[in-house]
Amino acid sequence: MQKLIRELEEANIGTVLVNEPLSSHTTWKIGGPADIFIEPTDKSALSRSMKIVHKHQVPWRVLGRGSNLLVRDGGIRGVVFKLSDGFSHLSIKDGEVRAGAGYSLIKLAVMAGKEGLTGLEFAGGIPGTVGGAVYMNAGAHGSDVSRILKNAEVLLDNGDFVRMTPEDFAFAYRTSILQSSGGIVTEAVFQLAHGDRKEIAHFMAEHKDRRRKSQPLNMPCAGSVFRNPPGNHAGRLIERAGLKGFRLGGAQVSEIHANFIVNCGNATAQDVLNLMEHVMNTVEKQYRVRLVPEVLVVGEG
């Protein structure tokens, strides 16, 4: 591992940190350390670092804003790449929106709306990045990334770039092929339609106001914890099961929205996992529905 660290530091790729606490890089403010944490300056630096990591056959994972993610208390072995400022470019032309993987999805929806482009309104409340949204096929309000994606640039684990179409991603509900095959989204191109600026702004303002009233945005959380079962809502089932406000350790089912688990200040990943298991068991016992987690759980216990 020391040889890998030395090669990365000598490659002039950006920030390279050892044993970096991932609690500083997730919206839940939870997570053990990454053996090696890399924040590349741009996609060329990312490619160079990936080739070095590939040569040493070290496992890796990519991180955006760290939403929709639970890192276990033991942290992540190998390398964690974080895409941030060097992947935050944006260009809009003739209804085509081209954004870097590190660009905020909420900000992207706002910018598209200001240009009078419709199709991204669903993303106005999803607290992640463009890269994570493509990886997870993020969605809300009856729409998702698969409906508007034109293509995306992806870095393979050998350091080469490929351009993938929606068909290549094999999108399904909150999933894409990258979750099994690997690869890092570095840029996405969305094809949007022209709409009425006032209507788009009104739609997004309504949903923003609803989120502010119905979601625990003032506490560390990771968005919706469970997928909505067919024909139902996870939050509704959890609330009906009497679990709103239920707490284990430092983790609590939100008193505002039952499909959110909040960090009350000292939660561990194990607290969250224990609470998730309790919620799943209780809902299944009462309603014969087994909730499926939407958040990704990674790392070692």
**Cα–Cα distances in angstroms (integers) from residue 99 to residues 34, 158, 250, in the given order:** 27, 23, 37
pLDDT of residue 212: 77
pLDDT of residue 205: 86
pLDDT at 238 over 90: yes
18 vs 180, higher pLDDT: 18
pLDDT of residue 293: 96
Share of the chain above pLDDT 90, in %: 85
Q: Where are the domains of the chain?
A: 2-82, 88-200, 218-298
Q: Which fold has domain 218-298?
A: 3.90.78
Q: Which residues are within 8 A (CB) of 183 and not within 5 positions of it... i.e. 6 or more apart?
A: 154, 155, 156, 157, 162
Does pTM surpass 0.75?
yes
Q: What average pLDDT does the structure give for the chain?
A: 94
Alpha helices (runs of H) in the chain, residue ranges in sequence order: 2-10, 43-55, 105-114, 130-136, 166-169, 178-181, 197-214, 234-240, 269-287
SS3 28: coil
pLDDT at 291 over 80: yes
Cα(254)–Cα(243) distance, integer angstroms: 9
Q: Which CATH number fits domain 88-200: 3.40.50.150, 3.20.20.330, 3.30.465.10, 3.40.109.10?
A: 3.30.465.10
pLDDT at 210 over 90: no
End-to-end alpha carbon distance in the chain: 21
Tell me the catalytic residues.
174, 224, 294
Domains 88-200 and 218-298 in one fold: no
pLDDT at 186 over 90: yes
Question: What is the per-residue pLDDT across 26-69, written as a single tens digit (0 to 9) for each?
Answer: 999 999 999 999 999 999 999 999 999 999 999 999 998 898 89
pLDDT at 125 over 90: no
pLDDT of residue 217: 80
2-82: CATH number: 3.30.43.10
Residue with tokens 């706002």: 110
